[in-house]
Amino acid sequence: MSRRHLALVAALILINYIVFASLFNVIFNSRPSAIPPTRTPLPTFTPAPSPTPAPPVPTKTPVPLPPTATPTRVMVTPAAPTPASPATPAPSGDAPVSTGPAVTVNTSLNVRSGPGVAYDRVGSLASGATAGILGRNADSSWWQISYGGGQGGKGWISAGYGDARNTDGVPVVEAPPAPTPKPAPPTQAPAAPTAKPSSPSGMNPSIQFQPKGSYAGTNAGLTRFIGHITDRAGNPVSGFFLYFTCGTFHVMSFPTGPSSVAPDWAPGYYSQYIASKELACDWTMQVVMYKCSNWFDAQCTQFDELAPRDYFKTKVGKTIVSADWWCNFDCDKGMKR
């Protein structure tokens, strides 16, 4: 080969080299550079602040409880039933009504230890009070009642001073031994009985009161005395008492005319209720002056006799007695209470 050919070959090789080098450079310089992946850093752990401890709550100091008393069982004996006391009024219509034997008194009444005025007084019942009946004496003139103030929770009252009910089966009770009689207080000697005056001209100037006259009327189922006291001029006389007896039974009326115990009575008038049944009996009546210390006691036995006794007999069908009296002197000396 000639130099010319060698030079041409060498030129061609150089050109190829330049072309390929340029091409290579273009290819590799035009590709985007690969960005190596960046490692995401892990979050940094920040420790949480430790909680500030709360101050301790002070503990209450327990207060010792007071010692508890140990309960002691006490055996209580039930008290005997007690009737209404003197200050207790009669039961009202709203109160339960006992179906057993009972009595409602119609005046202030003594309660005694036995069936008679010789027995000691153990208390009293107010007018309108009700008591249970436990027994009776042989002639049913006295009731044994339930009464807390008496011995064994019992006492006795006269049967003529109240309305009794459901008494058919009430047993006869033996009376306690009679007490030793006490000496009676001296009383004014009673005046000698005199005949009833048939007119005002029969006035006895030595006797303060004289019976004017009496008669019996009909009122089935009731025994009662009513009347008036007047002076010789016919003026009403108030402040004197009527005393009635029938066997062992006795009762004193309220004072004639208006008083603290009978404010609605007319001047000179009296009324004595005996029983809600017809009683056949031989009665005595007289005008007296009340001398008992307690006011008012229908069974008072302390009095001054101001008149001789008058007598009257009641029988079944004729038991409403009207009896009037004269006052001869000292007619204005009656008790004012």
What pLDDT sits at residue 273? Answer: 87
- Token pair of 251, please? 């009762």
Distance from C-alpha of 276 to C-alpha of 167, rounded to nearest angstrom? 14
> 163 near 221, Cβ under 8 Å?
no
Average pLDDT over residues 268-275: 91
Average pLDDT score over residue span 281-310: 92
pLDDT classification of 44: cutoffs 50, 70, 90:
low
- Label residue 51 by pLDDT band (50, 70, 90): low
Q: How far apart are CA 300 and CA 322, in angstroms?
A: 23
CATH number for the region 208-327 comes to 2.60.40
225: exposed, middle or buried (C-beta count within 10 Å: 0-12, 13-18, 19+)?
buried
User: What is the model's pLDDT at position 76?
Assistant: 47
| pLDDT, tens only, 207-264 | 899 998 777 777 667 888 999 999 999 999 999 999 999 988 999 999 999 999 999 9
pLDDT band, very low/low/confident/very high, at 19 (cuts 50, 70, 90): confident
The helix or strand, by DSSP H or E, that contains position 30, with its residue range, turns out to be helix 3-30
Q: How does pLDDT run across 276-289, given as a tens digit for each residue? A: 888 889 999 999 99
Q: How far apart are CA 48 and CA 6, in angstroms?
A: 84
Residue with tokens 């004072």: 255
Question: What are 131's strand-pairing partners?
Answer: 103
Mean pLDDT of the chain: 78
CATH annotation of 102-165:
2.30.30.40
pLDDT score recorded for residue 250: 92
Start-end ranges of CATH 2.30.30.40 in the chain? 102-165
The per-residue pLDDT for range 125-181, each reduced to its tens digit, is 998 999 999 999 988 899 999 999 898 999 999 988 889 999 999 999 998 887 765
Beta-strand runs (E) in 17-170: 102-105, 109-112, 121-125, 130-136, 142-146, 154-158, 162-165
CATH 2.60.40 in the chain: give the residue spans. 208-327
- The least confident of 60-74, 80-94, 160-174, 270-284 is 80-94
Between the CA of residue 118 and those of 143, 176, 182, 184, 262, what are the distances in Å? 15, 12, 9, 11, 29
What is the end-to-end Cα distance of the chain in Å, rounded?
191
Tell me if the pTM is above 0.85. no
Burial class (CB in 10 A: 0-12, 13-18, 19+), 226: middle
The pLDDT value recorded for residue 40 is 59
Q: What is the pLDDT of residue 327?
A: 94
Q: How far is CA 162 from the centre of its chain?
A: 22
- The contacts of residue 250 (CB under 8 Å, 6+ apart) are 117, 243, 244, 299, 301
CA atoms within 13 A on the CB side of 122: 21
